[in-house]
Amino acid sequence: MESTSNPSPSFDPDLIHAIYKHVWRKKAAELEKNNGASDVGAGPSRKNVIPSGANANALKLSCELLRQFVVEAVQRAASIAEAEGATTIAPTHLERILPQLLLDF
Amino acid sequence: MASTSSVPVHVIDDDDFDWEAAAIEIDNVRCGRADASTTNHSIPNVNANYFPPENDYGTSYSNHFKKENQKKFTNGKQSTLDRFIGKGSSSGVENVRGSSVSDGAGFSRNENGGNVVYNNDVDNNYDNHEGDSVEESICCVKLDHEAAKTWIYPVNAEMRDYQYNITQKALFTNTLVVLPTGLGKTLIAAVVIYNYFRWFPEGKIVFAAPSRPLVMQQIEACHNIVGIPQEFTIDLTGQTNPTRRAGLWKHKRVFFVTPQVLEKDISSGSCLVKQLVCLVIDEAHRATGNYSYCVAVRQLMAVPVQLRILALSATPGSKQQTIQNVIDNLQVSTLEYRDESDHDVAPYVHERTIELIQVEMGKDAVEINDLLVDVISPYVSRLGKHGVIQNRDVQTWSPHALLISRENYRQFKAENMPDTKKIEIEGVFGVLITLYHVRKLLSSHGIKPAFEMLEEKFHQGSFVRFVSRNESLIKAKLLMQQSVTHGAPSPKLSKMLDILLDHFKNNDSQSSRVIIFSNFRGSVREIMNTLAKVGDPVRATEFIGQSAAKTLKGQTQKIQQAVLEKFRSGKFNVIVATSIGEEGLDIMEVDLVICFDANISPLRMIQRMGRTGRKHEGRVDILCLQNFLACKGSELNGYLRKKSKNNTIKKHMRNGGLNSFVFHSSPRMIPHVIKPEVQLVELSIKQFIHRGKKVQADQLMHSPAPLTNLTNAETEQIAKYFSCMEENLWRPSLIAFPLFQSYPSRVHNVLHSSRTGMLIDAMQHLQESSLFKGKDIVCEDGSSSNPCAGEAVSQDDMKGSQTFSELPEKEAPEGNTSPMDTEPKLEPHGRCVKSPKVLFGSEFKSIEKLWRPQNLYVSKLLSHSSNNEISEIRCASTSKSCPDEKVFTSGLHNPDLHLEASSQSERIHLVPLSCNKSDEVDRTDGSPLSVSEGTHAVDDESNDCNYADISPRLTSFIKSGYVPESPINDFDISKSQDCASTSKLLTKLVNKLPLEGEYTKSYTCPTENISVDTVDQIERTVVDANNNLPQRCKSATSLDEPKTPMGQLSNFSSSNDWKLNSGEHFNSIEQPCKFRRLRKHGDHRKKLSLEKRGDTKTYRMFPGCDNQFRGDKKREKDCSIFIDEEAEVSPHVLMSEDDEDVPDTDSCDDSFIDDKIHPTGTSTQAEVGGVDMMAVYRRSLLSQSPLVEGRPSLTYVSPDSATPRSRSNEGSSTSRSERHSIQIIDAGPGTSARISRPLQLNSDRTCGYAILRSNLRTDACVESGKRNRSFYREGSLPAHNLEKEFLSASHSVERNPEPENQVEKPECDMFDDDDQFFASLDLDAMEAQAAQLLRSKAEQAEQMMQKNAISSDAPHPNLDIADLPTFDLGI
């Protein structure tokens, strides 16, 4: 439970950035597809909505958010596991805390 | 002028300034100014450009500011000194504005003697003398005084005294630094730059170097020396387009520029000259004529702007005059000269062997040379005959000498000559010059260049005309052609090859670098061709300028950069360079320089030599070979001659050149008061990142890095998940663990959001409906399931958190709607208990709440902390009102409740959630029966003191009359509610429980007992209810009422444990109510009005209590606020209500009675036909729930607000919604109950209720008359209980009738009536209770009064508000 108090390692911003870019690329591709399908619906200005880069601080922040998310997930799952007397977190534990966790973030 | 200009450096620190001289000087300058404006302007247009009025004003202001700044730190004398000395280029704003703006003669430049004096100075001085010193300016850029206390000298590298000394000088005066090559001029510049960078946080610093490669080299060098952050530095060359440069000028602070860029940007205005504080000029010897250096400086001086100029050169000039020109052009005040022989420099000079290798001309070359001489000699003799040139050896003539001779001839002798002769002589001169040039080429560069030139010349008509028939020349040409075609290498080339190969034999071809200088591109090409044949160890490239010649293309600067880069990195180890490579290239590894032609200026020779011998780390002395390949004869002679000339110049520069040169004044830039002290610092310098590389690095960082970080499998995985996201949204399963989703999971750092709360509510709702459905079906009917779902939200809220549950419980009992609340709650619970609960809303709620929290939260620990807090809060709130109530209620109910509660609580704790429920049911079942038996014993055990005290009083009250009983009942109900809350709180802390119990006692004795039990409020309440019922039954005279509850209990118990429990609870509550009412009825029906008042009060009190509790739990602040608000509102409301109530009661007695009667009847009916009743209740609840939801919002606005706050405080996001829902529900049921009542009037039993109520009311009325507000308050607490009871009763009644009648429609119609009824009933009950309290306990009353007053005030407003809104709605 106390593990998070330590300066815990966070995610690699590069990794996060790569993931972001991956998502953006997919989104952009999807958008284009949609635009191609229905040009009328999507305005021309929409095309540029998908960001193409993230500034370093934004990435840092994202990493921290993800870190918090993971920590919280683990801790909550751990509490469930603890209540069950289990020493390891099983997927089922995560499954249990997930809905609320997702809503909390 | 002379005095200032010549000895400015000395004057600066000289306190004994010659004031008279200064005054004279001023006069002189003033006189000269007039002249200056007329005589002097080398570039008037430019000046005009540089004196835009606005700018001048700007400077004047900024100067102003600066001046003021400075004055703080300077005494008058120093500032005066500054005026005279410190501002050679300071601004004469007045001057510019007044006299010279129009003609651009803002400054006068006295070029005679190389002195530049700005009349600005004079003006300033003049002004100062007049007492207006404002115009003086030091610098328009802000000075960081803190930073200016020190100047920093880096000691990262070895500290050299001469560098340190020169730097010190250069910081405060314009300095020309003349240092031999490779001795660290750049370091001096970098340190000066760095300190100005520090001193002037907004100042701009310019470092100008004559070529782009040098610029790039210097920016890196400076960075590596002092580490100015790269975000502040930028290199500006012609490559950067002007608009971009303009932006960069604004944002950057240190600029490394080419002089051309500097000039252009100053004249275009994109360079912010006002902010310039320092200008470093590298290779300052170029600052002659109209070179960009000079133009730029001139422009800056014209602005005028004060800045530090630092000029760097190894070779300021070969003549005294040229050096003086440089000094003039760059406004230099000091000359710092060192050469290799100076003691402080010598240790750092690397041995540099200069070897003069004399190469014999090749055989062919000699032959050709002879032929050429043969060709030349007749022409020379012809000129000699004409007396145009001196007669001397043909061999000694050079093209240059001939050119000079021709000039002389044209100037002095041409006029006397006839035209034909003129033409002949000119022709001969031309031929001779050409031939000598060819011969020079032949001697210094070989046959091939000579032949090429000759060939070229033969295509020109004039030359051919003279020499076409010259056999010797033709022969020579043929010979040259032969040797060229045979490819015979020139002796120089072969010698050079020997040297090169020899060098690379002795030195590592990887680490060693060689530069070969040649004056002509033609020979460069030839050398390249030669070297290309050599192959392996020699990897040569050419390094030439970018101008494109006819035969050879130049190298673009990009290529030049690339060449240097590759040379540095070792890809090439030989560079064949023209003069472009002579200056500034700082390539450490160069250990051999070959000058292919020696007959060049000493300046260039020094520079060429400077390219080597630079490496001073590690292996300090590398043998350096300086090979001068000179042919015998003219070339050698020329070299020797120029070398000696160079030595004479050195003499001029000794001693700072004070004797030979005239210097200029320069600003100190830093106020004299500030004497920066040196600070030797080891700077941490980040690695220099090339601008070009930076971009690449970024790209590398961003694109490839992630790819490398992710394996294919990983990317696939990501793709998988993200594609999932896109196509079919993944959703967390809520079905998998529904139980977990219906309770807030434990959080670590991140608290639950409001959405989570909603989810939990919804899940609870759903689960309850399903769970309850099953239970309900088992128990009675499935009808309740629907209502349960509707009400589930409220239940969910209750369940969600113990604290929440507590709050809702309180709320329910508190408000008139409390019964309503209880009903919905019961419904949502869905358990068998629900139906019974409906009857006794408050109890059920409390029970449910307790159950749920307990059940839901397997771990009781979670809630302990919160409960404790809550309990404390409750205790505080309850304590106020408690005493009175305690007396009444404690007697009968407390013991039973305590006993039961304790037992139940224990059980509950032990048993799992589900088990707890069953256990509780069982217990409750058993408890009612046993409660009556063991109540007393329990009392003794749990709350001996309190109970004992209370019980006797109660008994006495009971004895005295019905009144006590009714209060007791009321108390019981309230107690049950309170107990529920308290018990929750108390459960964890037993110790606290007694206290709470006491407090609760004050409100409701039973509650106290329950609280004492603390284990489970529900159980307690059940017990209490049971106890109350039996007790009441026993005590109560009316047989029917007691019987009915009993019957209900039995029925419930039989049906299901849960049902039994609930039934018992409800029954108990109902029974007491009924009893009371009946009793009251019998005693005083007329007092209904009073009761109404009391009820209203109690209602108010309850809400207040709720608010308080909530607030306390969540946040004390909120609570206090609410309480205050409520308190304020409450009195008024009470008053108004009382007034209204009285008439209502009077007028509505009958109707009320009827209503009441009906509910009672219904309740009794319910009791009788337990199963049927349950179904009916559920149905009614279902029907009611929707209505309730709509209404509550209006009625319970204030409570809602309070609740949300409190919930939020608790930390669970759901709190707000839950509370709202609860309140709403409460209101709804209340309304429904009201509606149902009229309908129920028909029932027989209702009459009994009505009677009871009337009785209570009558009692209350009597009491009310006596009571003051304070009394009301006191009474209000009991009233709450009563209200609850009434409400519960009404609920039960309602439920019963509702199924029969369509609840919704009646409700809508009946709202008004119901509300009124409710209000009246509540008031009456409250009053009755209050009256009872007063009667029974006068002593406690006082204490309670105070407490109650606080608590009551708070709750009242809510009640009032709630009531009023309902009325409005109804209307």
Which own/partner pairs from B741-744 qualify as long-range (CB within 8 Å, at least 24 positions apart)? Answer: B741/A96, B741/A99, B741/A100, B742/B766, B742/B767, B742/B796, B742/B799, B742/B856, B743/B799, B743/B800, B743/B856, B743/B857, B744/A100, B744/B800, B744/B801, B744/B1212, B744/B1214
B253 pLDDT exceeds 70? yes
Q: What's the mean per-residue pLDDT of chain B?
A: 56
Side chain identity, residue B1036: A
Residues of B in contact with A100 (CB under 8 A): 741, 744-745, 752, 756, 759-760
Quick one: average pLDDT of B588-595?
74
| Averaged pLDDT for residues B34-49 | 39
A82/B488 Cα distance (integer angstroms):
94
Confidence of residue A49 (pLDDT cuts 50, 70, 90): low
Highest-confidence range of A17-26, B859-868, B1236-1245, B1257-1266, by mean pLDDT? Answer: A17-26
Q: What is the H or E stretch that residue B26 is in?
A: helix B19-39
Split at pLDDT 50, 70, 90, the class of B1041 is very low
Would the pLDDT of B769 be above 50?
Answer: yes
Question: In chain B, what percentage of residues exceed pLDDT 90?
Answer: 0
What residue of A is the nearest CA neighbor of B719?
A22
Residue of B nearest to A72 (CA): B748
Q: Which amino acid is residue B92, in one-letter code?
A: G
**Do B884 and B847 meet the contact criterion of CB atoms below 8 Å apart?**
no
Kindly give the pairing relationship between strand B625-631 and strand B353-359: parallel
Confidence of residue A25 (pLDDT cuts 50, 70, 90): confident
**Predicted TM-score of the model (pTM):** 0.40
Question: Which tokens is B128 given?
Answer: 């100062």
Judged against a pLDDT cut of 80, whether residue B282 lies above it is answered with: yes
Of B707, B753, B859, the CB nearest to A104: B753
pLDDT at A72 over 80: yes
Find chain A residues with C-beta within 8 A of B747's C-beta: 72, 76, 104
- The DSSP element (H or E) to which B266 belongs, if any, is helix B259-268
Q: Which pLDDT value is given to residue B649?
A: 72
B745 vs A1, A71, A100: nearest CB: A100
Rounded-to-10 torsion of CA B1063, B1066, B1068, B1073: -150
Per-residue pLDDT tens over the stretch B671-703:
777 777 877 777 777 777 665 544 333 433 343
Return the pLDDT at B430: 80
> Does pLDDT of B1324 surpass 50?
yes
Cβ distance of B723 and A26 shorter than 8 Å: yes
* pLDDT at B578 exceeding the cut of 60: yes
Q: Which residue has the higher pLDDT, B732 or B940?
A: B732
Q: Report d(CA B514, CA B612) in Å as an integer.
A: 9
Q: What per-residue confidence (pLDDT) applies to B759?
A: 78
Question: Which residue in chain B is spatially nearest to A31 when comparing CA positions?
Answer: B726
Q: Does pLDDT of A83 surpass 80?
A: yes
Contact between B740 and A26 using a beta-carbon 8 Å cutoff: no
**Does the pLDDT value for residue B1187 go beyond 60?**
no
When pLDDT is averaged across residues B716-741 and rounded to a whole number, the result is 62
Hunting for tokens 């660290």 — which residue is that? Answer: B184
Q: What is the pLDDT of residues B1117-1141, one digit of tens each?
A: 444 444 444 444 444 433 433 333 3
pLDDT tens digits along B85-118: 433 333 333 333 333 333 333 333 333 333 333 3
pLDDT higher for B118 or B208? B208
Number of Cα atoms under 13 Å in the Cβ half of residue B26: 20
Contacts of residue B277, Cβ cutoff 8 Å, sequence gap at least 6: B139, B141, B196, B199, B200, B203, B204, B205, B306, B307, B308, B669
Highest mean pLDDT among B320-334, B495-509, B824-838, B1010-1024: B320-334
State pLDDT tens for residues B1270-1308: 333 433 344 444 444 444 444 444 444 433 333 333 344
What are the pLDDT digits (tens) for B431-454? 788 878 877 777 766 677 777 777
Q: Which residues contact B395 (CB under 8 A, 6 or more apart)?
A: B373, B633, B634
CA distances from B1356 to B760, B1101, B1277 (A): 32, 5, 10
Tokens describing residue B1140: 């209204």
By CB atoms closer than 10 A (0-12, 13-18, 19+), residue B794 is buried
Q: What is the C-alpha separation between A59 and B769, in angstroms, rounded?
A: 45
Chain B residues with CB under 8 Å of A104 CB are 747, 750-753, 755-756
The per-residue pLDDT for range B882-928, each reduced to its tens digit, is: 333 333 333 334 334 343 433 343 333 333 333 333 333 333 333 33
Task: List CB contacts (< 8 A) between A92 and chain B.
Answer: 736-737
Q: Which residue has the tokens 């030599």?
A: B609
Q: Give the pLDDT of residue B861.
A: 37
The residue among A68 and B1275 whose pLDDT is bigger is A68
Average pLDDT over residues B37-62: 39
Residues of chain B found within 8 Å of residue A102, distances taken between Cβ atoms = 732
Question: What is the count of residue pairs from A and B with beta carbons less than 8 Å apart?
Answer: 96
Does residue B143 register a pLDDT over 60?
A: yes
Out of B512-526, B596-610, B779-793, give the one with best mean pLDDT. B512-526
Nearest-angstrom CA–CA distance, B770 and B785: 8
Distance, C-alpha B732 to centroid of its chain: 33
Contact check, Cβ <8 Å, B706/A98: no
- Overall average pLDDT of the B73-82 stretch: 39
> For B204, phi and psi rounded to 5 degrees?
-105, 145
pLDDT of residue B721: 60
What pLDDT is stored for residue B782 in this prediction? 35
Cβ-nearest to A14 among B706, B722, B749: B706
Q: How confident is the model at residue B1236 (pLDDT cuts 50, 70, 90)?
A: very low
Pick from B726, B732, B751: which is nearest to A30 by CB? Answer: B726
Q: What is the mean pLDDT of residues B199-206?
A: 86
Q: Which two tokens stand for residue B521?
A: 């591109």
Task: Identify all chain B residues contacting A19, using CB atoms and an 8 Å cutoff.
Answer: 718
Of B722, B732, B747, the CB nearest to A26: B722
Q: Which of A1, A83, A100 sits opposite B741 (nearest CB)?
A: A100
Q: What percent of chain A has a predicted confidence (pLDDT) above 90?
A: 0
Q: In this predicted structure, what is the pLDDT of residue B842?
A: 38
Distance CA B516, CA B241 (A): 34
User: What is the model's pLDDT at position B190?
Assistant: 87
Whether a cis peptide bond, with omega within 30° of 0, leads into B304 is yes
Q: Taking residues B499-525, what's their average pLDDT? A: 78
- Closest by CA to B884, choosing from B1168, B561, B1277, B1179, is B1277
Extract the tokens encoding B968.
């007791």
Residues from chain A contacting residue B760 (CB–CB below 8 Å): 100
Q: Closest-CA residue in chain A for B744? A: A100
Whether B857 and B743 have beta carbons less than 8 Å apart is answered as: yes
d(CA B1296, CA B1044): 15
Residue found under tokens 């006191």:
B1274
Average pLDDT over residues B784-812: 38
pLDDT at B42 over 80: no
Q: When comparing pLDDT for B1113 and A74, which is higher? A: A74
**Which sign does the torsion angle of CA A93, A95, A96, A102 carry?**
positive
